[in-house]
Structure 1
Amino acid sequence: MLLAAQSVSAADWVVSANDGKYQRVQGRDTYPDNAKPDTLTVLDASVLPPTVNQTVEVENGIQGPPQAAAISTDGKLALVAAPTRYDSATQQLQMDTFLQVVDLSAKPATVSRIELGSHPQAVAFDRSGHWAVVTCVDGGVRPLRVEGNKVTLLDRIGIAGKRLAGAAFTHDGQHLLVSLRDESGVAVLNLVDGHWADSGDRVSTGVAPYTIDVSSDGHWAVVSNVGLAGLANYKGRLLGDADSVTLIDVSKTPFRAVQQLTVPSVPEGVAISPDGKWIVAQSIDGSNLLPDNPGVKAHGTLTLFALRDGHAVKVNQVADGNSSQGVVFSADGKHVIVQFNVEHQLGLYSIENGKLVDSNKRIEVSGGPSSLRSAPR
């Protein structure tokens, strides 16, 4: 008797948080009546196009770095930050101060809240599944202990006097990188005797560091720097100037920035392939500006870099959506998912013959996608 072996591939979990109440119209913020609820879309990117596993109602907003959602390696738990509500009576956006814990193993999924005392920005899981973290606008990092579907808030670690943004654990789980959005630079936290502590080390970046991603080969981290547009209460008109992405060597301590890469304006998201071979930066590139602004453009731009001999080399650029947000690689490093905010879609791209190309395939989501992360790899 011949027995046919059936190969079963593991899921490649990705989550997209979607702001249902907000709509950008020709560069202006609007909050339409009878808006849809904010949602979390859970995707399996092990197949192409990725399949939608489930959609859960949460509270989320576009204001802040597009790393306000995360999913555990086993796909059973998600965290959602950046909770916002729009008060139509006062026409004011309310910034809430809780973290949402989504138990995806429950049928249907359940959502609970952890009060933080400050508006949360980015969330991240480590590869072991034992740790998570949330950054806040009060300059504090909140480490989280994860045990199954239970998430426990630990101490507050104050590392800045102003807003924090993106966060990412290194591949070995011994360090945490956090963007100092208003003060610039990246703070390095270390795991010491089972506790997280600020090492005091800082890594140079561009202006207003935002999102952070790390490679699974333990060598590289990348940081998007959104420039003057990312600073609090910045006065003056911005015209779509070039901004930057920072390449950091995390293969040995102390970590060091080794290259500053020029990209189009406001790189909301940046991702490095798990194998450390490719970097993709998603830049709004003037697509968020008013119609009379000389820098306005119809769509954003994806820039692909190849990592060769310890430095990054620009390969090509392709168009993406209007005011696009987060970007992630698939686990095999061959495909890229991008959030098209205005269009309420996820755009799918591939690396073919050494260049980034648009597959012209799209996934519809409920609301404007605002945060995007894959499970730790």
Structure 2
Amino acid sequence: MKIAAHLLAAAVLMGASTVAHAQLAVSANDGKQLRPGDPPSARTADSISVIDLRRYPPKVLGSVAAPASMIGAPSAVAVARNASFAIVTAGQRLNAAGSLELAGVVSVVDLAQPSAPKILQTLEVSPGAAGVTINRAGTLALVASNSNDTISVFTVAGKKLTPAGKVQLPAGYHPTDVVFAPDAKSAMVVGQGVGKLVRLDVKGSQVTVSDTAVTTGVQPYGAVYSPDGRVAYNTNLGGRPRPEGAPKPAPGGPPVVGTITAVDLATKAVNSIDVGVTPEHVARSNDGKYLAVVVANGSAAAPTAPGYHPYGLLQVYRVRGTQVTRVAEAHSGGWCQGAIFSDDGRTVLLQCALGKDIEVYRFDGKALTRDDAATLKFDARPGSIATAGSR
């Protein structure tokens, strides 16, 4: 009986630890990215921060200096399902002349002690590293690089990445994101250059391009699966597909309305929803009932630019398969990037680069309420964010 009691106690502690770890968010913060007119002296160090979502308001537990990049899809962070480590990519760096150039830096972050995260490993992949994903078993990771149309494959063991090859996509695909399906037997690449979601087949550590692709819109950017893997949701910066032969929007003309699309992966049926100008990120609640969509809304542009607004938009949609219905919208700060839900879906964190902060919203299923007193401040610009259950 004593042995059984000890085993039960250990199981309870392990379960509690898993739940606690699941409530961690990891934010990648870019200190080198300047706004027009900013002096070079305004640059700060890039960093990776760990945020505690077990409590309200959320709290930054610890940070570590490491390469990060906010230019690109806000999916440059992936957290293992047991929240023991994270992978962060950086698609830009400063060169010797003090200018930004393409990069392909991948960092492995130890989260065993969230108040003191550590960099365990740094690797180089193809330039333009962007979206990153880890399978649910924590044994395989993929990194999209948009400059040369590649997906880097890594096996994972003991929180260490080992290169296992690259997937070469056709020229011009410019992948911005990649995400494992829930069953990890396939993955989805966002082909920004061709307006498509492309399936990868996964067998062990062998990853190959399938002949399955779905056209979603112009300049797709980021994507996420439904929890059952039957539906894919993605953002399209350039909106709905253009008819063949249709001219591109003229420079200086009205801003293009971006979309999110819901794709039934069995039938390839696509449902497109207009959301606003430049939808940066689509994030799913853990239960799969809601999507958060981050819309720049011209807030990163100069005040004299067409379509400028002094605020962005945070939107929440209720989803049921490919049915997508807007239930809430709030004005946000400017130049906002990534978003995540807390495990219970009642709190949403939104990274806003202009103010160098993460805004905190309460969500009750009907409305979003920004809690300015809970805003998290940073020295660098938050650009990508994830939790163990966000993808």
Shorter-normalised TM-score: what interval?
Answer: 0.7 to 0.9
Large movers: runs of 4+ above 4 Å = 4-7
The equivalent residue for 2:383 is 370
- Contact in 2 for aligned 1:305/1:316 (Cα 8 Å): yes
Moved more, 360-369 or 211-220: 211-220
Please state if 1:249 is matched with 2:264: yes
1:202 to 213, 218, 222: 213
Opposite residue 264 of structure 2, the aligned amino acid is D
The CA deviation at 1:310 is 4.5
Cα distance in 2 for partners of 1:259, 1:148 equals 41
Q: 1:108 to 1:18 in 2, by over 3 A?
A: closer
The equivalent residue for 1:139 is 149
Please state if 1:98 is matched with 2:105: yes
Please state if 1:152 is matched with 2:162: yes
1:240 to 237, 249, 255: 255
Moved more, 356-365 or 4-13: 4-13
The CA deviation at 1:258 is 3.0
Cα distance in 2 for partners of 1:123, 1:368 equals 19
- Contact in 1 for aligned 2:337/2:383 (Cα 8 Å): yes
Please state if 1:264 is matched with 2:276: yes
The sequence identity of aligned pairs, in percent, is 26
SS at match of 2:144: strand
1:43 to 47, 51, 56: 51
Q: 1:259-290 deviations in whole A, cap 9, x for unaligned?
A: 11111111111112222211121000010112
Cα distance in 2 for partners of 1:284, 1:72 equals 28
1:109 to 105, 110, 118: 118
Structure 2: stretches of 5+ with no match in the other structure: 1-8, 240-248
The equivalent residue for 1:305 is 317
Cα distance in 1 for partners of 2:86, 2:48 equals 9
SS at match of 1:82: strand
Structure 1: stretches of 5+ with no match in the other structure: 229-233
Q: Which has the higher contact order (CA 8 A, sep 6+)?
A: 1
The equivalent residue for 1:223 is 234
SS at match of 2:263: strand
- Contact in 1 for aligned 2:231/2:321 (Cα 8 Å): no
Please state if 1:333 is matched with 2:345: yes
- Contact in 2 for aligned 1:239/1:286 (Cα 8 Å): no
Q: 1:38 to 1:308 in 2, by over 3 A?
A: same
Please state if 1:318 is matched with 2:330: yes
Structure with higher helix content = 2
Opposite residue 73 of structure 1, the aligned amino acid is R
The equivalent residue for 2:308 is 296
The equivalent residue for 1:231 is none
Q: 1:51-106 deviations in whole A, cap 9, x for unaligned?
A: 3232011112222111112221222222121243334x745212223322223337
The CA deviation at 1:214 is 2.2
SS at match of 1:154: strand
SS at match of 1:222: strand
SS at match of 2:69: coil
The equivalent residue for 2:40 is 32
Cα distance in 2 for partners of 1:86, 1:29 equals 18
RMSD: 2.5
Moved more, 312-321 or 235-244: 235-244
SS at match of 1:60: coil
Opposite residue 164 of structure 1, the aligned amino acid is P
- Contact in 1 for aligned 2:26/2:48 (Cα 8 Å): yes
Cα distance in 1 for partners of 2:250, 2:88 equals 31
SS at match of 1:33: helix
TM-score of the two chains, using structure 2 as the length reference: 0.85
Opposite residue 208 of structure 1, the aligned amino acid is Q
The CA deviation at 1:16 is 0.8
TM-score of the two chains, using structure 1 as the length reference: 0.88
Opposite residue 76 of structure 1, the aligned amino acid is S
Equivalent pairs, count: 362
- Contact in 2 for aligned 1:269/1:282 (Cα 8 Å): yes
Cα distance in 2 for partners of 1:133, 1:288 equals 30
Moved more, 102-111 or 211-220: 102-111
Cα distance in 2 for partners of 1:356, 1:256 equals 32
- Contact in 2 for aligned 1:215/1:273 (Cα 8 Å): no
Q: 1:13 to 1:257 in 2, by over 3 A?
A: farther
The CA deviation at 1:161 is 1.2
SS at match of 2:375: strand
- Contact in 1 for aligned 2:286/2:389 (Cα 8 Å): no
The equivalent residue for 2:246 is none
Cα distance in 2 for partners of 1:90, 1:52 equals 33
